[in-house]
Chains A and B, each alone.
Chain A
Amino acid sequence: MTTYPMIRTVGLAGVLVTFAPAMSDAANRAALAFRAALAGEDWPEVQETSLSLVSVYLTADLVVCDLASLKERLITLLETNDWYNMPLPEGRTLWHVPTVYGTDLAPQLEDAAAAAGLDPDEAIRQISTARVRVLTIGFAPGQPYLGTLDEAWNIPRQQTLTPSVPAGALVSAVQQLVLFSAATPTGWRHIGQTAFRTFRPWTASPFPLSVGDEMTFPKVSRAELEEILAKNDTGQGGAEQEVLP
């Protein structure tokens, strides 16, 4: 019988602390809170920490560090809290990102709506009013995985990949949304298009989003998006942001 949280090594590069065998909101929040606690410990052998959907990954040079001692301290730290019931951190950002749904800019909206058992207008209503949280950032630079959508949106990835969807695409599968950093082939369905850049290497702050931030994707017209695109040097894509208490 496997028990969680689970501590495993990852090659000789680090240690993974996993809070559940599958994605769940409680496990994601646990990982978020535990990563913050771990950062606060400032252990000398921990080089960096990152977050996947349900795990915290800490990189440490396992060739030279004392793995037994590191594991012991992780177990001790895990025992200090009920990580699955921790509040979300303060000072997170809520982003509102203007989004065109459907049209040739996001040609799989109707397909996704059908998979979710909704008519297209209802699908747009649900997604454009949903408030989702950044569950993890990864795969590509600054790219957020967002959730969790209603059960109706538990739609599978497509069997065959769409050869390329552009940067700024809003795509959906498995009760989540992803906002693409760069053009990429994908099995997720392309339901919306934004001008928001999640990776801005030309600026002093290349990564605008943080794990735990929340996002909404209000519907705009194609003309409005084109107006935004005409002056989008910052990559902000017309997004507004506010600090959550």
Chain B
Amino acid sequence: MSAMLHVLNVGPQVTVQDMGRKGLLAQGVTRGGAADQRALVEAGALLRQDCGLAVLEMVGMGGSFRADIDTVIALTGGEMVADMDGTALRWNATHAFPAGATLTLGAVKTGVYGYLAIAGGFDVPCQMGARATHLNAGIGMALKAGDSLPLAGAVHQEPGLCLASDRRFSGGDIHIVSSAQTDAFASSTLDRFQETLFARDPRGNRQGVRLASDGEGFFAEGGLSIVSEVITEGDIQITGDGAPYVLMCECQTTGGYPRIGTVLPCDLPRVAQAPVGATLRFQFLSMEDARAREQTARLELDRLASQVAPVVRDPGAIQDLLGYQLIDGVISATDDPFAHTGEHDGISRS
């Protein structure tokens, strides 16, 4: 009998996710998968395993879980209230998860999407090339209390590792590139779009995030007569009332609303994790600058595995663990620990 994770209680939107499905656009199925892919890379780095293994994605609220084997978990993405049999757990870290212990993940404290990864991953059946639940496409279902998920079994078992926390959980500057329909907007509209401070609207999910702003909408010239055309993740669609929607991993494959631009993949986790009311501002980059920025972000993601470090003190109080030269053990008493904030921010702001 295979090892299982038992779901004792669970929030309304907890699903199995991985990096999603490729190759099915022609059949009307978008990638789906984790809304915050960076959180999966972090989980893979922490558990020293493939970041494509299946995890649980928890929107706003987690659940309580029990395993019937000794294993190890990693907690990444938006930080949630977390404890193991009553002992608080730090986020962005690995923890021993003994058989029979109760893991409780509560409300999200930063961001929107929290992730529970487990050594070896969840071994639910692969459907059309992935284990990801795609509710919009009717693939898989949200978890409910009483469910049990098969565990693949661990290769590495290393609790007590952590990563410096990232700062993608409160909105900020989002870089975009022009797309197929950007030309349908007047340049004055594009300027105004970049000058506007948007607030993440309560209307947002894995399909798209609505952005609210004061002032008039962002209409294309001849906007509603555009022929239905392909959508890519990150497209910013202007709906009938002039409000932008950033289309996310579980969007439709085509749409008839004009798209003003497309969010760079490296900035999409920041959009996904922006809590309701967080401020977002958009900036167009040239194709060349966009490529360079995305390349840099990819290199930083590749380096995450080398930044995993043992928990030696309460690194939750330290924004940038690497800034402390743990190897030398020399920490200046006069340095402001928060002075480094942002420098090693992998999702990168300048």
Contacts and interface: CB of A to CB of B under 8 A. Distances in A.
Nearest to B265: A12
A11 B235 contact: yes
B262 A201 contact: no
B28 A52 contact: no
A10 B262 contact: yes
Contacts of B295: 63-64
Contact of B25 (A9, A23, A54, A57): A57
Contact of B28 (A12, A59, A64, A142): A142
Contacts of B225: 22
Contacts of A149: none
A201 B127 contact: yes
A199 B28 CA distance: 10
Contacts of A8: 179-180
A12 B291 contact: yes
Contacts of B22: 47-48
Interface SS of chain A: helix, strand, loop or mixed? Answer: loop
Interface string B286-305: 01001100110010000000
B177 A181 contact: no
Interface string B222-248: 000101111011110000000000000
Contacts of B235: 10-11
Given A55-B230, A63-B298, A12 B25 contact: no
Interface of B is mostly: mixed
B27 interface: yes
Interface in A174-223: 181-182, 199, 201, 206-207, 211
**A-side interface size class:** 35 or more
A88 B227 CA distance: 23
A136 interface: yes
Contact of A63 (B127, B228, B263, B291): B291
Interface string A59-71: 1001110010000
B127 A52 contact: no
Contacts of A138: 28, 230, 252-254
A16 B235 CA distance: 14
Interface string A106-127: 0000000000000000000000
Contacts of A11: 177, 179, 232, 234-235, 262-263
B25 A48 contact: yes
A13 B255 CA distance: 16
A49 interface: yes
Contact of B179 (A9, A18, A143): A9
Nearest to A49: B26
A98 interface: no
Contacts of A12: 177, 262, 264-265, 290-291, 294
A43 interface: no
A54 B252 contact: no
Contacts of A201: 127-128, 138-139
A70 to B, nearest CB: 13
B23 interface: yes
Contacts of B253: 50, 138-139
Interface in A10-62: 10-14, 16, 18, 21-23, 47-55, 57, 59, 62
B29 interface: yes
Contact of A62 (B227, B229, B254, B291): B291
Interface string B245-278: 0000000111100000011110000000000000
Closest A-B pairs by Cβ, 5 of them: A11-B262, A50-B26, A138-B254, A13-B232, A50-B25
Interface of B: 22-29, 127-128, 136-139, 177, 179-180, 225, 227-230, 232-235, 252-255, 262-265, 287, 290-291, 294-295, 298
5 contacts: A12-B291, A48-B25, A50-B253, A53-B227, A136-B254
Interface of A: 8-14, 16, 18, 21-23, 47-55, 57, 59, 62-64, 67, 136-143, 181-182, 199, 201, 206-207, 211
